[in-house]
Structure 1
Amino acid sequence: MSLLLQTLLLVVLAFAAVRACEAVARLFARSRARRRLDVESPSSPAIKPTIDEKDSAAQAVPALEQDNAQLEEMQLHKDLYFKLQNLEQYPGILPQSWDLLISLLSETVADAQKQPNSGILSLSNYTRESLAMFLQAENDKTTQQWEQYLARRKAGSPKEMFGDRKEAEWWLKQAAPVKYVDGAWLGHINKITAPFALRHITKNAWQVMSEELGDGDLSKNHVHVYRALMEEIDSGVPDGDTIDFIHSRHELNEPRVWKAALAQLLVSLFAADFLPEALGFNMAYEGLPLHLMKTVKELEELKLNPYYFVLHVSIDNADSGHAAMAMDAAVDYIEQARKASGDEAAHQAWKRVQAGFILAEGLPTTPESPSLKKPVSVSFPRNDTEAAVVKIFKAKAPVAHKIHCSSRLRIGRHTLVEWLEPKAFADKQWQMDFLNDLSNCRPWVIAGSSEKSRLIRELAWEGKMFGSFTQTEVEVVKRWIDELGGPAFDAKRYWSFTGREEITSAQRLDRKQDILCDYPVLQDDDDDDDLSKSAASQAQLHPFPPPAATTHSRPNYPIIPTPNLTHLLPLWFTHPCLLESHVSVPFKVATPTGSAIVRLLRAHSGFEREGPGVAGMDEVRRPAADVVGLVELGVEICRRAGIKEPKDLREVMEEAVGEGEREGATFARKMLGWSMRPMKNEALLLGLSTACVELHERVAASDLLSPSSRDVLLQIAERERESLSVCREGIDKDGARHGAFCRGYAIGRREVGRSFGEAQP
């Protein structure tokens, strides 16, 4: 029997090790992210031992710090990073994006639940007071750690972020994928398609993004500031929204940075489905991290420009800055849920805010400086299962050892006889190396799947090795193989944690998206024949105004009778969509045109005029009666006309259709479709927006609004004209864009005219 056992062991162990590349479908199902306790010093990834080539044709690939699965995952993340910033060109990635977002939420929640009494999970039940105390405690902890850091440095301890200037420049370059999407976690909120009752919440949260974008001042735009830093250090990295940015030649190869950047691009993408998660993410991300202050100090010591990081230390403060604003928005959402649907709804809202918070906390955003990586310390056996497997093979090694002396077959880096040498096998490092190499012997051992592993089939009844291992030993080996796939998490963990009913990407795809309330809806936006045929004649009747007329112009329209509200209201409530999507991707906004559009959108939402500083909590604390934007003015129009105040855009359209105004509702949908492709339709959308300035001036000259609201609307129109004059500067020099601009103006002007009873050609 001993000879049979030895022979059977030889059959198993004779297969050379080959490195297993994980399938893309499994990339999202593995829990690789460690929960961030201190973002700049998480545990370093385990370094697996190198595997030598075997004697047969099959090859074993060395398992380095970044194994093939990790590199494959990073490349997938790079690809999505580019496509999400150019979404209108790649609408097919939406199901994949949905799945990845759920996976990241589930992964980080599962990781956080390993320590259920720490972090945000320590607040099982929400109150505003308990949340404020928790965030204050986190802030106090950071300041204490900062004081300890300063004391260490004063006592002569070395830097803790970078080893030297060269490494600091490397670190700054590697951080670019995250820094180039600064604010993206709020990029898709505050859309006109959101319920109007949530406007004050989304507006206050979007203010954080507005300040990330410099409030329309390019010099204060955070992406612009970081891009300037990249030029200062001669990084050579291209624009962050281009395909070249993700090319391997730029050596941006920190996987966790790409993963964190991707989470920021994803968390607000499906704004109608994940608003509280985006608010929770914002609340975590805007807290003051220790690494930020360390970075400032050490960059200054190395004579590198720290301004980008100084900007965040100051603007993210918990009193009047982003941290305070983020908490306020999250609290408002939870209380809104309580008011609308009761305590149970508020609790679920809290769990969803927690999930977003955990997502931000669970994904480190910074690179690890190579010289400061902590050495990997691994205890062995690493768990009870591994200890049991070692015990089994240690007991069998003396029996199977010398019979294989002439064998040239190898298991990874050693021959079989070398592995089974009893004295060598007594060493713990030797045992660990043996198990690592054996774990890569496909198809005999398929990590994470004992049922697919040939070793287990051969140990079962009718297998060649049946009886050589006891049933208990077989179960141990099965358990060991299943655990090789890593600490798996339930991909549905997010749904169970929040108590939401699961929606798969397939179900979402089957569920017809309504462009009036869902986002993003990238439907076909080809022009209607009617619009195309009328554009040229409209442009002749209503030529685009010359540049001088677009600034500081307030036409003195006479007070006119009430216009056709069934046509006006769909146009009024929908047209704020026109330029909303232009600012969803931070890198694309870091231009003069992008900054001008930010200022225009701020006017639309009722923000005060931009000053030399930042408004911060001043905006949040403004009385609701003073925060008047286009939606609020539209609601006032309905109220004064005795029309039921709409709850959302869909209700506006249903009312219009019910009154027989299908044409206006159809055009409103068309505008929404155009707006979701902001790059393709940029000139057209700017032309339409210019026509809508005239809409605002005409409504301000009518009796639809109170005198004070008319003044507010005229101020909005003035700010719009100032912004649009900047946007137009490059259009007149490009024939195709100028034509699209004029066409958009003509089409918009026609719709405005219809609302005011003008005869159309």
Structure 2
Amino acid sequence: MYILQTATAVLIAFLAVVAYSKVRNRLAKGRSRRKDLEIPGSPTIPVTNDVKPPIGNHAAVVLSREEHEPRDKELAKHKRLYYKLHNLEHHPDILPECRQLLLSLLSSTLTEALQEPDIGILSVQKFSRDGLNHFLKAKDVDVTDRWEQYLTRRKAGGAREMFGDKDEAKWWLKQAAPVKYVDGAWLGHINKIATPFKYRHVTKNAWQVMSEELGDGDLAKNHVHVYRDLMNDIDAGLPAADSEAFIHPCHELSELRCWKAAMAQLTISLFSHDFLPEALGFNMAYESLPLHLLKTVKELRELRLNPYYFELHISIDNADSGHAAMAMAAVTNYIDLVEQNEGEEAAHVAWKRVQAGYILAEGLPTTPESPSLKRNSEELFPHTDTEAAVVDIFAAKSFVAHKIHCNSRLKIGRRSLVDWLEPNAFENVQWQEAFLHDLSNCKPWVIKGSSDKSRLVKELSWEGKMFGSFTEKEVEVVKAWIDELGSPAQVPCSDPAVYFKFTGQSPSPPLQTATDDLDILVHYPVLSTPKPTPALLLSSPYPVDVDNAPSFNLNNLNLSNLLPLWLTSLALLDSAPSVPVRVADTFGSAVVRVLRAQTGFCDEGPGVAGMDEVHRTDDGQAIGIVELGLDMCRCAGLDEPSTLKEAVALGNTESVAFSEWMIWMGMRWLTHRDLLVGMAWAFMEVHEAVAQVDGDVKLLSATGRRVLKEVAVRERKGLEICREDIAKDAQRRAEFCRGIAVARGAIEACSSR
């Protein structure tokens, strides 16, 4: 009886203190006492009457506004950047923000991974081909083992583990659209013409992975196109991924983790010259086989939904001849190249950077979290031993406090304190979780992470009005619970210093400097420089006869002036696939095939080349426009340049200016697409002419002429498709013809005078 009286007195004191504090604050502000006492502590929950809601399995926890706002702001930020990165040439001001975001994502995922350094890629402390190969094979074995365990659970009657039912599967597929529509974007800015030539065999192998993500120019095999068809099958009603409408809230694409994963993919290769090893590491992780992919295929089949997009990735990403093997080859070749050119210490730094990129891909979930599975996760409450102890304390005290305070109108969050502590209700686990949620957000009684500043702890301590109502041990439990609410471990550190410390690099220059003070012949992307106005552009003839190429005077050709144009002409089309949705149509697929020809990849067949293409590149057989340009240097007895800047420096003032202008224009594909295609047409004509030169003029070796002829044939096939599409509109055709005229004029000016 004494214990009952004491507990009752304590709870009365608690209510009195809270009520007094509330009334005093309201009177001080000149407000209505009745109105203020009914205002919940959680402003997103509407005021209701005192009727207690029924207890059931659907008593979900409602987030307070202060918890919603950070998530909503982050979601809005990612959506905004997603749209602008699809239209980057119109929004160059976002580049510093994107660089900062990339560094933050690298650091936050590293922070989590470093908590268990003996697990995952960090266990391969020093790079070796054998060590990396062993790690990746062990990872594949682990996935297949867990796949077998999953199948065993399912055969024993276990429920699906990706979606609850067909409607939820459709919801899941739709929520995944933002990340699926950028499939391959993590390599979208790889293998630019400004990439130092010594790295081209590495970046070409990486670009081949992206090419296969784009169907190698076959629209039916294009991964974005396949997923878009799936969205149409389930009536998702989504607009184009590069449109502003796509990010509108009306489409209810609200899975933050999918948008964050999409942003990682869009930014990891955006600064391809500065983060090449990170992009290669990201690629190696992303192309490995994940367990959720296998589960997704099985469960979609069960629900009679088309699993082909996911089946495609299981087959094409295989570790023998597919993308997983290609990704590993790109990493190992890169590390070996760095060690050969810069030494063992530089190679170790490169390996750490590869690890950082790998961890970024591993650390960000790319799939939505199905609501039914999320509820199952919530049923695991209490989440920690401390939380369980706090629940036990309040459950024990609820039996002596309930009816004594039935007239109180004090609310904690969505309910009054007396309703929260109703003994029968408090036996429900979800009720307990909801109570702790609302109490944790009831300021000033609980200040997350600061028990010493929390009013509840002060009142439970000496000289507090509730002193003695909780034992000393119980007070310590409450304090520990409050402190854990703000534990830094719950929010991984996103300070870029984590990334720089891990990789052993000096911090980068100020973000604005890193994206503004750039050389268009060296860096990428460069969108802040003023538009060049070369003299060759101003004197170009117009109009032109598209079907009758001029007779280029190759006998009097000045190779030093042509070579800068020859190499930089690759920049005319290579921005098209930087975001995959741009080439997920017939026009874009034709551009991909032209780029493949120019890069030196083999002709497209009914299947995929996979590791066969890697072997061709490693054996020096993947000969493209760059390699042929260097061959021309050797044939002419010129010093072979090692970078684009060195090659462009060979030309005269007009040639240099026109080369810079072509790169500048190439970075603005959306604005100048048809003009750029017209210029590519003119350079295709030059390729045809040079391939036919024989006799005294030795521009290329016999092998070089044969290869160039094959390249030009494939270029013409692809560009003819683009031309047919352009011809449907008079304005577009005019731009196409202007591009041909401008490029022809610049090429003809390369003849010696």
Give me the TM-score of the superposition, normalised by structure 1: 0.82
Q: Residue in 1 aligned with 2:38?
A: 55
> 2:610 aligns to what?
616
Deviations, residues 521-580 of structure 1 (Å, cap 9, x unaligned): 113565738566434xx124xx1423xx69xxxx9978625x223311221221111101
Q: Which residue of 2 aligns with 1:602?
A: 596
Q: Percent identity?
A: 52
- Per the alignment, in what secondary structure is the counterpart of residue 77 of structure 1? helix
| C-alpha displacement of 1:383 | 6.8
Task: Quote the residue 2:52 is aligned against.
Answer: none
Distance (whole Å) between structure 1 residues aligned to residue 201 and residue 143 of structure 2: 31
Instruction: Kindly indicate whether the alpha-carbon contact (under 8 Å) linking 1:95 and 1:506 is maintained by their aligned counterparts in 2.
Output: yes
1:652 aligns with 2:655: no
Select which of 62, 65, 76 maps to 1:64.
Answer: 62
Figure out how many residues of one structure are paired with residues of the other and give that number: 700
Pair 1:70–1:327, CA change in 2 (3 A):
same
Aligned pair partner of 1:747 in 732, 739, 742? 742
Aligned amino acid, residue 410 of structure 1? K
Give, in whole Å, the separation in 2 of the partners of 1:234 and 1:426: 43
Match of 2:28 in 1: none
List per-residue Cα deviations over 1:616-648 (Å, max 9, x = no partner).
000111253322111111222223333322221
- Separation in 1, partners of 2:232, 2:388: 53
Q: Which segment is superposed worse, 292-301 or 147-156?
A: 147-156
Give, in whole Å, the separation in 1 of the partners of 2:297 and 2:395: 53
Q: Which residue of 1 aligns with 2:668?
A: 677
Structure 2 counterpart of 1:706: 701
2:516 touches 2:526 (CA, 8 Å); kept in 1? no
Q: Distance in 2 between the 1:181 and 1:333 partners?
A: 25
1:666 alignment partner in structure 2? 657
| Pair 100,12 (structure 1): closer, same or farther in 2 beyond 3 Å | farther
Residue aligning to 1:494: 499
Cα 1:633/1:53, change in 2 over 3 Å: farther
Residue 738 of structure 1 corresponds to 733
Per-residue CA deviation, residues 641-679 of structure 1 (Å, 9 max, x unaligned), is 3332222112223444xxxx2221111111111111101
Going from structure 1 to structure 2, the CA distance change for 1:446 and 1:757 (only over 3 Å counts) comes to farther
> One-letter code of the match for 2:607?
G
Structure 1 residues 57-89: Cα deviation after superposition (integer angstroms, max 9, x where no partner): 986225637833323322222222111111111
Give the C-alpha shift of residue 369 in structure 1: 2.7
In structure 2, the residue matched to 1:148 is 149
Q: Relative to 1, partners in 2 of residues 1:300 and 1:392: Cα closer, same or farther, differing over 3 Å?
A: closer
Deviations, residues 136-195 of structure 1 (Å, cap 9, x unaligned): 111112222223333333344333333333332222222211211111111110100111
Match of 2:377 among 356, 375, 378: 375
Q: Match for 1:634: what amino acid?
A: G
Moved more, 265-274 or 232-241: 232-241
Match of 2:343 in 1: 342
One-letter amino acid matched to 1:361: E
Rate the CA distance shift 1:252–1:432 in 2: closer, same or farther, 3 A. Answer: closer
Kept in 2, the 8 Å contact 1:690–1:745? The answer is yes
Name 1:483's counterpart in structure 2: 487
In structure 2, relative to structure 1, the CA distance for the partners of 1:190 and 1:632 (3 Å cut) is same
d(CA) in 2 for partners of 1:609, 1:53: 75
Letter in 1 for 2:742: I
Instruction: Confirm or deny: 8 A CA contact 1:325 1:616 kept in the other structure.
Output: yes
User: How far apart in 1 are the matches of 2:355 and 2:714?
Assistant: 38
Return the offset for 1:698. Answer: 3.7
2:637 alignment partner AA: G
Structure 2 residue aligned with 1:47: none
Q: Deviations over 1:412-448 (max 9, x none)?
A: 2455688899999999999876664354345786656
Taking a change above 3 Å as real, the CA distance of residues 14 and 84 of structure 1, as seen in their structure-2 partners, is farther
Question: 1:54·1:411 contact (CA, 8 Å) conserved in 2?
Answer: no
Structure 2 CA distance for partners of 1:107 and 1:449, relative to 1, 3 Å: farther
What corresponds to 1:587 in structure 2?
581
The answer to whether the Cα contact below 8 Å between 2:170 and 2:234 also exists between their aligned partners in 1 is: yes
Contact 1:54 1:412 in 2 (8 A): no
- Asked if the contact 2:211/2:217 (under 8 Å) is kept, the reply is yes
Change (3 A) 1:355 1:719: same
- Separation in 2 of the partners of 1:5 and 1:58? 17
Q: Secondary structure at the match of 1:730?
A: helix
Match of 2:527 in 1: 522
Secondary structure at the aligned position of 1:67 is classed as: helix
CA contact (8 A) 1:53 1:412 kept: no
Aligned-pair CA distance for 1:300:
2.4
Distance 1:247 1:58, change over 3 A: same
- Give the secondary-structure state (helix, strand or coil) at the position aligned to 1:93: helix
Residue in structure 1 matched with residue 539 of structure 2 by the alignment: 534
Q: Whole-Å Cα distance in 2 between the matches of residues 528 and 687 of structure 1?
A: 19
CA distance in structure 1 between the aligned counterparts of 2:367 and 2:427, rounded to whole angstroms = 41
Q: Distance in 2 between matches of 1:339 and 1:476?
A: 54
**What letter is aligned with 1:327?**
M
Aligned to 1:42: none
Alignment match, 2:56? none
| Aligned residue in 1 for 2:352 | 351
8 Å contact kept, 2:515–2:526: no
Q: Separation in 2 of the partners of 1:296 and 1:81? A: 27
The one-letter amino acid of 2:580's match is: P
User: Residues 109-508 of structure 1: matches in 2 within 5 Å?
Assistant: 109-373=110-374, 374-377=376-379, 382=384, 408-415=409-416, 436-441=437-442, 447=448, 479=483, 482-483=486-487, 486-492=490-496, 493-503=498-508, 506=511, 508=513
The alignment partner of 2:118 has SS state of coil
2:725 match: secondary structure: coil
Report deviation, 1:291. Answer: 2.0
Task: Choose from 626, 629, 632 the match for 1:637.
Answer: 632
The 1:404/1:172 distance shift into structure 2, 3 A limit, reads closer
Q: Is the 8 A contact 1:82 1:243 kept in 2?
A: yes
Aligned residue identity for 1:321: G
Q: Distance in 2 between matches of 1:716 and 1:743?
A: 24
Report what 1:22 is aligned to: none
Using the TM superposition, name which of 278-287 and 72-81 deviates more. Answer: 72-81
Q: Which runs of 5+ in 2 are unaligned?
A: 1-9, 26-34, 46-60
CA distance in 2, matches of 1:130, 1:557: 54
Helix, strand or coil at the partner of 2:125: coil
- In 2, the alpha carbon distance for the partners of 1:568 and 1:484 equals 59
1:560/1:703 contact within 8 Å kept: no
Query: In structure 1, what is the Cα distance between the partners aligned to 2:727 and 2:642?
Result: 40
Q: 1:559 to 1:234 in 2, by over 3 A?
A: same
Distance in 2, matches of 1:507 and 1:649, equals 24
Contact 1:283 1:357 in 2 (8 A): yes
Change (3 A) 1:295 1:388: closer
**Which letter does structure 2 place at the counterpart of 1:740?**
E
Structure 2 CA distance, aligned partners of 1:267 and 1:522?
A: 18
* C-alpha separation in 2, matches of 1:154 and 1:685: 57
Report Cα offsets for 1:77-129 as digits up to 9, x if no partner. 22221111111111111111111111111111111222221111221122110
Change (3 A) 1:176 1:402: closer
TM-superposed CA distance for 1:298, in Å, is: 2.5
Question: Does the 8 A contact of 1:389 with 1:476 survive in 2?
Answer: no
- Structure 1 unpaired stretches of 5+: 17-51
Aligned partners of 2:234, 2:516: CA distance in 1, in Å? 49
